[in-house]
Structure 1
Amino acid sequence: MNRVRFEGLPCSSVTSRRNIHLVERLIVDYRLRTQDDPRKVAETVAGEQSSGTFIATPGEDLALKERASATVERLEEVEDDATPVLPGSSGADRARSFRLRLSWPMSNLGPSIPNLLATVAGNLFELKGVAGLKIEDIHLPGSFKAAYPGPGFGIEGTRRLAGVASGPIVGTIVKPSVGLDPEGTASLVDALCEGGIDFVKDDELQADGPHCPFEDRLRAVMAVIDRHSDRLGRKVMYAVNLTGEIDEMLHRHDLVVEAGGTCVMVSLNSVGPTGLTALRRHSSLPIHAHRNGWGYLGRSPDNGWSYRAWHKIWRLAGADHMHVNGIANKFWEPDESVVVSAKACLEPLFADRPDRVMPVFSSGQTVMTAHPTFERLGADDLIFTAGGGIVAHPQGVAAGVRSLRDAWDAAVAGIPLGEAARNSAALAKAIETYG
């Protein structure tokens, strides 16, 4: 393959880069596929997402172009995977793939997440010359750090409130996903607390349905958690799903605080960045961020978002816990992608701010995935949630919790799973069941 590399290409409306070092810029990396002239398409994308349009317009003078136009910083050819292109793509050549880096003057948008999204993920996906486009990474300038507080609790604050100083925070999801009433939910949480669970979350499908109203569920579950807190010496963290309209979420947050809760949960793609930002600015609790719907944004290898780029938006807006799927998960995602996503959560978003967030492993997790998760991540700063892997244990919920904790203790200590099972009947039964 003939590799083509263009460095520092201005878009067609830019003729000068004078004093560019004095201007704060937003930088975004893409993977571009095209069947057209790659340089022309890159310039078209840059123009479409800044000052340009399909024809010169009155007022589009040189000074405006120099001030407002996006710039093609890099265009480097990489191997193409020969998959089908997006419908309606123009060009007669075979599809080729490129690493594309664009930059924008921050004076175009200011430190605003909604306007950042309009800039970096707007009409460019619809351009005929674009046969595929994936947002690979976003490099946020410092003005965003000043405008958005980021996570309020992150890893350290979550550990403090959950009473888990080291090792994974072992958790589960209320199952069945929907169908339990408040009393049924509280009964399950009672058994989980009795078994020594660290963390319980509502399913994303259960927020404020008529069969299980938010306030009734919160009241019933917190009564159980409070009853167990003295015996456990800590309060089990319950991420109660308050997803809704902004005013509803803020009201529900306050109810959780009044009830003595220690965490709230939202569905990110349902409430949007503006909803999460409003909740973060109001919240005095960690925010557990569920990524349901991620597949339509990230599953395609040639279009949409990489998790690395996408998760930065939510961390900036204020998420403390970010779902990353799980090893050997029940969905489409390969293990390597899961590990890369989790490691991204454990990196600071800004070098001088302690804003690492807890990766949340879920989706078909059992005692069988504890060792490979720890070995591949190389860290135990995580929330490990198993639904069926706990509540479907043949010996009951408490045995499910015990088996998962024993599996993780063995993983961190470097003890093979089979060897650890010789000293744990619950773990041995779990291996028989889930192995």
Structure 2
Amino acid sequence: MAVQLNYIAPPGWQPENPDQDYLVIQFKIELADFVDKKKFADAAASVAAESSTGTWTKVDEGPQSGIKMADDMKAIVFDVDEANFMFKVAYKTDLFEADNMSGFLAGPAGNIGGMKMVKGLRMFDVRFPEKMVKAFPGPRYGIEGVRDLLEHDDNQRKLPILGTVPKPKVGRTAEEQAVLARRLWTAGDGSYDFVKDDENLTSLFFNKFDDRARLVHQVQLEIEQKTGKKKLYLCNLSHSNLDVMLKRADLIKETGGRCMMIDVIATGFAAVHTMRLKNPELVIHAHRAMHAFITRESGEGIEGHGALNGFSVSMLTLAKIFRLLGVDSLHTGSPKAKMEDYGESEEIMRVLTQDEVMPNPKFLSLGQKWFGTKRVWPVASGGLHPGVMDTVLAKFGRDCYIQMGGGVLGHPQGVERGVEAALEARRAVIVQGLTVKEFVTTDQEIILSYRTILYCAELVLSCGKTVIMDATFQKKMYIEMAKETARKTGHKFVLIKVICDEAICKQRMDERVKNKTSDSIVGYDHHLKVKEEIFEEYPQAEFTYDSSQHDKLQLEELRLLLLPELPQSHNSAI
């Protein structure tokens, strides 16, 4: 309980010149079971006291006690919402060392989490004052700087940046990762942008950091020399020893790299701040692994109304902190993704990409003026694939990283096809102004049904009002699930079986093994084994496509089955 000093503002009080004189935080608390709800104001005052100048008991007020300064510098509780146990706290700017993030967090995110009076507390947002914003380095490159580094022309500046993190998360050797990087960067028209380490791939006995950095950067430089297209390798140098991180950053620079990836939560604020100041040549890609142990809240109070289930700091707050510390790109969560998302990914995106963000009551956000701090790339990731490109871009805009791991590497026709699908979807949405569904209901439908729409996280893939599914290597239960979903949605269901003359199939696979241009490098024998173990005969397929015969009649029959409403001139080739 706050004692000795008054930490509650009178009704209607608002901080004057908040962006100059105050740092403001939006809190919500959940009172402990033994605390009377009428004590909410006392609990709010205790939060302000414990996070600024107060303590639990009365102390000396003599001439050398510092009590006058403590009273002048105390935090003030205002905008109290007793119905929802919410309030704001205004902290005088001079209460904090302007360029010390750790020192700041030791107050408002410090001991208050251990107070007996509360069993739940969430810091929804922080609005930083100009003095603190300008004291931190901010991004070295930011959105415009990274585009300059990659030498983007006017057309490229309209496109999101696409990339892949190798899957499985860990398992490839350094040599194998370099091979994959080459395949990704050379697929399609060669415009795929980046390759990224996974967050838990550091330096393992089968994939040493030094080996991986040298080999992948060597591939990067070779491809750039041949194509003239600059690439990014997001090389994970995270370590609990800062000296090791600094040495790894030096190696990245020595081997021609442009970017260091940091697990920013796991390594800590001091590490991020130091790496930014010591390595101004390198782009910083921030992975937020471990954030959910800090940010996740499963109670109804996550939206302000209802109870909290624990103690947390919002990802919105962390995003602001990392923009100040100087990261150039940051994972934000994304729509249609696999991770928990409170719907705040869009608000985080605004905090990262705008010069001034207005308060948003929906997310209890306070807004932010950035006073010239460069903009940060929001990174959409987690369970994404080319089929949701339009959804992601509608939320994030064009200035974003779109990271697809399994969504590219898991393409049934191989890695190269996965990259091509991603590039096609990007062109369709940005250049042609189409949604993915609109794109696949044009003359591109048959092509995209094999390159993009067949591979999605969902089992049923809608192309306008047509659901297309390849029966060749599908299990019966998947087909039945797809048919049932199509029935419920009123979509047309088309099941296609692809066959091929075995001699031709073997010849093609042998050629791919020889040239190492496809995932079929496992060879024809493996193909037979997979076919025997996975394929389940499904005789009710609506169409059988013989891929050993590329005749126009067959394509026309398939076109009429899928797109009877299109004119004859819209024939497509698979």
TM value normalised by structure 1: 0.87
Listed as ranges, the matches of 1:197-276 within 5 Å are 197-244=192-239, 245-276=241-272
Letter in 1 for 2:277: R
Distance 1:108 1:339, change over 3 A: closer
Aligned to 1:398: 416
1:184 lines up with 2:176 in the alignment:
yes
Distance in 2 between the 1:219 and 1:169 partners? 23
Letter in 2 for 1:296: F
Distance in 2 between the 1:131 and 1:172 partners? 41
Cα contact 1:151–1:357 (8 A) shared by 2 = yes
Distance 1:239 1:425, change over 3 A: farther
2:72 to 45, 67, 70: 67
Distance 1:182 1:61, change over 3 A: closer
1:291 lines up with 2:277 in the alignment:
no
Cα contact 2:8–2:45 (8 A) shared by 1 = no
Higher relative contact order (CA 8 A, sep 6+): 1
Q: CA deviation at 1:156?
A: 0.7
Cα shift readout 1:240-292 (whole Å, capped 9, x = no counterpart): 00001211111111111111111110001111000000000011111000001
Aligned to 2:317: 309
Cα contact 2:388–2:436 (8 A) shared by 1 = no
Distance 1:426 1:31, change over 3 A: farther
Cα shift readout 1:76-116 (whole Å, capped 9, x = no counterpart): 245xxxxxxxxxxxxxxxxxx23311122233322110011
Aligned to 1:129: 117
Q: CA deviation at 1:304?
A: 0.7
Cα shift readout 1:146-177 (whole Å, capped 9, x = no counterpart): 32111111101112223442211011102221
1:328 to 325, 336, 345: 336
Aligned to 1:369: 388
Cα shift readout 1:371-399 (whole Å, capped 9, x = no counterpart): 1112233x110000000111111222221
Q: CA deviation at 1:308?
A: 1.5
Cα contact 1:32–1:98 (8 A) shared by 2 = yes
Cα contact 1:269–1:292 (8 A) shared by 2 = yes
Distance in 2 between the 1:222 and 1:425 partners? 37
Distance 1:350 1:258, change over 3 A: farther
Cα contact 1:11–1:71 (8 A) shared by 2 = no
Q: CA deviation at 1:143?
A: 2.0
Aligned to 1:431: 453
Letter in 2 for 1:343: R
Q: CA deviation at 1:424?
A: 7.0
Distance 1:48 1:394, change over 3 A: same
2:426 to 386, 408, 424: 408
1:158 lines up with 2:153 in the alignment:
no
Q: CA deviation at 1:419?
A: 4.0
Give percent identity, aligned residues only: 29
SS across alignment from 1:210: coil
Distance in 2 between the 1:259 and 1:362 partners? 27
Q: CA deviation at 1:233?
A: 1.8
Distance 1:176 1:122, change over 3 A: same
SS across alignment from 2:158: coil
Distance in 1 between the 2:7 and 2:263 partners? 44
Cα shift readout 1:314-363 (whole Å, capped 9, x = no counterpart): 111111101012222112225x2322222222123644314210000110
SS across alignment from 1:133: strand
- Stretch of structure 1 that moved more, 69-78 or 220-229: 69-78
Cα shift readout 1:155-210 (whole Å, capped 9, x = no counterpart): 01112223442211011102221111110010100100111320111001111122
Q: CA deviation at 1:423?
A: 2.5
Distance in 1 between the 2:445 and 2:222 partners? 28
Distance 1:11 1:155, change over 3 A: farther
Letter in 1 for 2:444: N
Aligned to 1:43: 45
Distance in 2 between the 1:417 and 1:12 partners? 63
Cα contact 2:139–2:373 (8 A) shared by 1 = no
Distance in 2 between the 1:396 and 1:137 partners? 44
Aligned to 1:107: 94
Distance 1:351 1:108, change over 3 A: closer
TM value normalised by structure 2: 0.67
Distance in 2 between the 1:280 and 1:68 partners? 31
Distance 1:236 1:424, change over 3 A: farther
1:32 to 29, 32, 38: 29
Listed as ranges, the matches of 1:345-364 within 5 Å are 345-348=352-355, 350-364=369-383
1:142 lines up with 2:130 in the alignment:
yes
Aligned to 1:337: 344
Distance in 2 between the 1:166 and 1:15 partners? 50
**Structure 2: which 5+ runs fail to align?**
10-14, 303-307, 356-367, 462-574
Cα contact 2:8–2:77 (8 A) shared by 1 = no
SS across alignment from 1:146: helix
